[in-house]
Amino acid sequence: GQSLEQPSEVTAVEGAIVQINCTYQTSGFYGLSWYQQHDGGAPTFLSYNALDGLEETGRFSSFLSRSDSYGYLLLQELQMKDSASYFCAVTSSRTALIFGKGTTLSVSS
């Protein structure tokens, strides 16, 4: 079967750093993406890793290790507005995405 595992909940305080891990087991692999979703609204794209290593986009970074079938999303200088659900997703074929069940991040002051 195909599966992605990520923690269901993470809590942190403003200004902190948090890491959300994702391990995957899929029949095909083209890349690992991360999406953010606020309050059940439209998911929005954050990052994509096709190759091993770290990708940095402002306060957010994403890492991939293909040999370990593992990746993570790193959020720095947390703000209240970062409270949301975060989904990892594997591109398992040329176009199809398989999503994890999501991690709810709660940021407190």
Partner 1 sequence: NAGVTQTPKFQVLKTGQSMTLQCAQDMNHNSMYWYRQDPGMGLRLIYYSASEGTTDKGEVPNGYNVSRLNKREFSLRLESAAPSQTSVYFCASSSSYEQYFGPGTRLTVT
Binding site for partner 1 (CB under 8 A): 8, 30-31, 33, 35, 40-45, 48, 50, 87, 89, 91, 94-102
Helix/strand/coil for 8: coil
In the complex, what is the shortest distance from the CB of residue 26 to partner 1, in angstroms, rounded to a whole number?
A: 12
In the complex, what is the shortest distance from the CB of residue 2 to partner 1, in angstroms, rounded to a whole number?
A: 8
Helix/strand/coil for 108: strand
Q: What distance lies between CA 53 and its chain's CA centroid?
A: 14
In the complex, what is the shortest distance from the CB of residue 94 to partner 1, in angstroms, rounded to a whole number?
A: 7
Distance between start and end Cα atoms, the chain = 41
Whether the Cβ atoms of residue 37 and residue 105 lie closer than 8 Å to each other: no
In the complex, what is the shortest distance from the CB of residue 107 to partner 1, in angstroms, rounded to a whole number?
A: 21
CA dist 77 → 6, 9, 27, 41, 61 (Å): 21, 19, 36, 24, 12
